[in-house]
Amino acid sequence: MENRIDYEERAALLKALSNPVRLQIVHGLLNTGCRNVSCMEVETGMSQSCISQHLQKLRAAGVVAAERAGNEVYYRAASSEVAALVAALMGEEAETYVL
């Protein structure tokens, strides 16, 4: 049985990462392990509402996953595939990332 490539899924992943703000958020998640919106505000200098809007799009595309702990929501890269793609874009090694 042939393993079929889902081109729509791959294109959606690329589209989600094609925005500079979203790429910065995901890269930050992978590099620093900064996991909540408050931390991302400090790291990026962007507003909470801006970050939240971009995180919503990243979640919808399956790029990031979220877990609630009390009042906080913590985010992480959804897969090693996402880490490998960001590493290739940034010229880095995915093995150095926090997953």
pLDDT in tens, the chain (99 residues): 457 888 998 899 999 999 999 999 999 999 987 799 999 999 889 999 999 999 999 999 999 999 999 999 999 999 999 999 999 999 999 999 988
pLDDT of 64: 96
In whole angstroms, how far apart are CA 27 and each of 2, 3, 75?
33, 29, 12
Please name the helix (run of DSSP H) or strand (run of DSSP E) that holds residue 69, with its range, or none: strand 64-69
Per the listing, tokens 């970050």 go with: 51
- Count Cα atoms within 13 angstroms, Cβ side, for 85: 18
For the entire predicted model, the pTM comes to: 0.90
Q: Tokens representing 99?
A: 């997953």
pLDDT at 99: 84
The domains located in the chain, with CATH, are 7-93 (1.10.10.10)
3-class state of residue 60 by DSSP: helix
Can you give the pLDDT at residue 2?
57
| pLDDT score for 88 | 96
